Structure formats: structure tokens, C-alpha cells
Amino acid sequence: MSEKTFVKVRDVMTKNVDTIEGLSTIDEAITQMREKRFGALIVARRDESDEYGFVTVQDIARHVIEPNLAPERVMVYEIMEKPVLTVHGDMNIRYAIRLLERIDQLRALVIDNNNEAVGIVTMLDMVTRYMGKDSR
């Protein structure tokens, strides 16, 4: 087996991520996702004691489109995932891959030393980089 280079989560994460407030409507979230071409948004913390959330296109499909609800009447906080898995930007992607696989997740929020969101990392980003085929 060949020796793999140590790659940090921050080296493969998506840095240009957007946040949305939990009190925003799904209609607003969809508009923001469409404009930025993102499949997930970080739901901002209300204060320092709160945790981050995610709202994804899968959440919208499952909880708004499938039951035929009006997106302008459903709030982000009603369907978001919270709390979300967080990983530190300095973590070796090998361990981040193991962690995401162990709990059957496809993405994680990347945080810095101040517990601030700095990006999102996906299983695809990490696996392709680890195997020597950068997805970017």
C-alpha cells in the first residue's frame, strides 16, 4: 500500500458557503440556493450557546415538496437538521472520512478554533482527494 500524504479538512472544504436564519422561509432558502448553486445552507446560530444547522435540498424535497406544503409558509427551523456534525479544519481527512462513514453522513460543517463555521466538507471532496483524484 502506498503512503498517503496528510491532507487537512480545510484543504478540501468548500469555503464559499452561505448561511440563512432559522426564521427564514423555505422560499427564501430555495432562492438563495438557486442563486448560489448550493445544495445546502448553514443555518446560523441564534447565539453562542446555540448550535449550527443545515438545510439541504433533500430536506426541502422530503419535508416541503413531498407533502405538498407551501414553501412561503414553512420556516427553515421547521425542517432543518440540527445539531449538525462538525469537524475541525485541522483534522486529517482520513479520520473525517471514517467519522462521516461511521454515522452515515455525506457532509460536515467545518469549524475553526473559535467554533465559527468556515466551510462545508463532503464525503466526495475527501474521498476523491484521498485517492489522489482532486474533485475540484
Q: What is the domain range of residue 44?
A: 9-130
DSSP 40: E
- Band (pLDDT 50/70/90 cuts) for residue 109 is very high
Read off the CATH number of the domain in which 121 is found: 3.10.580.10
Q: What is the mean pLDDT of the chain?
A: 92
Categorize the per-residue pLDDT at 133 as very low, low, confident or very high, splitting at 50, 70 and 90: low
The answer to whether residue 31 is domain-embedded is yes
Could you give the number of structural domains in the chain? Answer: 1
3-state secondary structure 28-94: HHHHHHHHHCCCEEEECCCCCCCCCEEEEHHHHHHHHHCCCCCCCCCEHHHHCECCCCEEECCCEHH
Three-state secondary structure call for residue 57: helix
pLDDT tens, position by position, 25-84: 999 999 999 999 989 999 999 998 999 999 999 999 999 999 999 999 999 999 999 999
Percent of the chain scored above 70 by pLDDT? 93
